[in-house]
Amino acid sequence: MAGDHVSTGPAEAQLDAYLSDLAARLRGPRRRRERILAELRDGLDHAVTGHTTVGLPADRAVTAAVTQFGTPQGVADAFAGELATAYARRTIAWYIAAGPLVGIWWLLLLQPHPWRTGVLALLTAIPILPLVIIAIATAAGTFATTGRGMRWLPEASPLRALSATFAVAVLALVGDLTVIAVYTLSDSPMRPLAILAITASLTRIACSLVTIRHAAAMRRAIATTLDVSTTRADHNARR
Amino acid sequence: MLPMRPELLKGHLDALLLAVLEPGPQHGYAVIEALRTGSDGALDLPTGTVYPALHRLERAGLIASDWQTVGGRRRRAYHLTPAGQRALGEQRAVWDQFATAVTTILGRGAWPATT
């Protein structure tokens, strides 16, 4: 309905102010936040049209629509879980994609001698292999239980998804620091391949430090939001 | 009719949203309105309940969305996927069984004393 477009000046300004307030309270991937705001803007326009259709003047219709949608903090809290899950999925997808790009150089550099075969030889040459396996399993499990896999598997909560993101970032950080330390302490020559591998790991270390900080902050924020929601639900149930 | 608290719908919201989208694509606010008018005002759910639930269903692959530009504004319309259609059928069957069992117990009247 093209007629749902709210075009009067003060009404438009009130809706813009509401959405700006909400935008300042949303935390998560930028594109996801923009899409939420665009969707809510369209919904608010529909609500305003609904109120004007039953006879409310434009300014009161906008106030009624904004009241109906809830306070910016309440709406931001309601979207916090979805935004946290979107952040976790995006970050884990990045680690899944970046893993081979970093790992390939270390694999070429540290691969065991051709005559030494077996798991033990591989573990001696690449000691972080167990960390890699745990990180891949955590990432794959979280990706599945926050996406289509949750139709068959138990759904991962936003808190669990953030914890998994934190864990994957820590495992990547420990893995990168370990391989750099092992190589530099082994007195091996600094070949171009080694420089490439160390540069790739240093880049991922920087990303992991940022991820650890973001995931921990988001986890604290979500835990606080859940506490407030639970208290509010308990309060409503007692009324 | 008195509006129901969203927490009472826990476990049934997914099925309700899928059912509202069954006839055809709807945008978020139309879903809220369809729930309200379809239930004579009993299911007057807040924005903060319905929109995130739609996003979650899309993440699960039970619904999908398309963005359109209408009158200069971006609009997101949701529709059921084949997996969503199957899930709705399964949830209807579960609800029928649940509702029959609860109605049988609640509709029985006062339980006789055992002593």
Convert A107-120 to b/e letters by CB count within 10 Å (16 or more is b).
eebbeeeeeeeeee
Count of domains forming chain A: 2
Choose the final residue of a domain: A26, A47, A70. Answer: A70
Q: Is residue A150 part of a domain?
A: yes
- Which A residues, 11 through 30, put their C-beta within 8 Å of a C-beta on chain B? none
Q: What is the pLDDT of residues A68-125, one digit of tens each?
A: 999 999 999 999 999 999 999 999 999 999 999 999 998 888 876 666 667 777 777 7
Choose the final residue of a domain: A70, A91, A111. Answer: A70
A84 and A141 co-located in one domain: yes
Residue B107, SS3?
A: coil
Quote the pLDDT of residue A182.
Answer: 87
A58 and A113 co-located in one domain: no
Q: What is the pLDDT of residues B78-97, one digit of tens each?
A: 999 999 999 999 999 999 99
A99 and A159 co-located in one domain: yes
> What's the whole-number mean pLDDT along residues A122-137?
86
Mean predicted lDDT score pLDDT of chain B: 88
Under an 8 A CB cutoff, do B70 and A45 touch?
A: no
Under an 8 A CB cutoff, do A69 and B51 touch?
A: no
> Could you tell me the sign of the dihedral formed by the alpha carbons of A231, A233, A234, A238, in that order?
positive
A54 and A98 co-located in one domain: no
A37 and A111 co-located in one domain: no
Quote the pLDDT of residue A31.
Answer: 95
Q: Is residue A239 part of a domain?
A: no
Q: What is the pLDDT of residues A180-207, one digit of tens each?
A: 998 888 877 778 889 999 999 999 999 9
A47 and A88 co-located in one domain: no
> What domains sit in chain B, N to C, each tagged with a CATH number?
6-104 (1.10.10.10)
> Cα–Cα distance between A78 and A148 in angstroms, integer?
22
| Percentage of chain A lying above the pLDDT 90 cut | 64
Question: Is A122 exposed, middle or buried, given 0-12, 13-18 or 19+ CB atoms closer than 10 A?
Answer: middle
pTM for this predicted structure: 0.86
- Give residue B114's pLDDT band: very low, low, confident or very high (50, 70, 90): low
A126 and A171 co-located in one domain: yes
With an 8 Å Cβ cutoff, is B74 touching chain A? Answer: yes
> Cα–Cα distance between B64 and B78 in angstroms, integer?
6
A108 and A27 co-located in one domain: no
Q: Is residue A162 part of a domain?
A: yes
The alpha-carbon gap from A38 to the nearest alpha carbon of chain B, in Å, equals: 6
A238 pLDDT exceeds 60?
Answer: no
Of A43, A82, A146, Cβ closest to residue B28: A43
- Domain boundaries, position A175: 80-234
- Give residue B2's pLDDT band: very low, low, confident or very high (50, 70, 90): low
Q: Is residue A133 part of a domain?
A: yes
Closest CA to A22 of A83, A78, A82, A73: A73
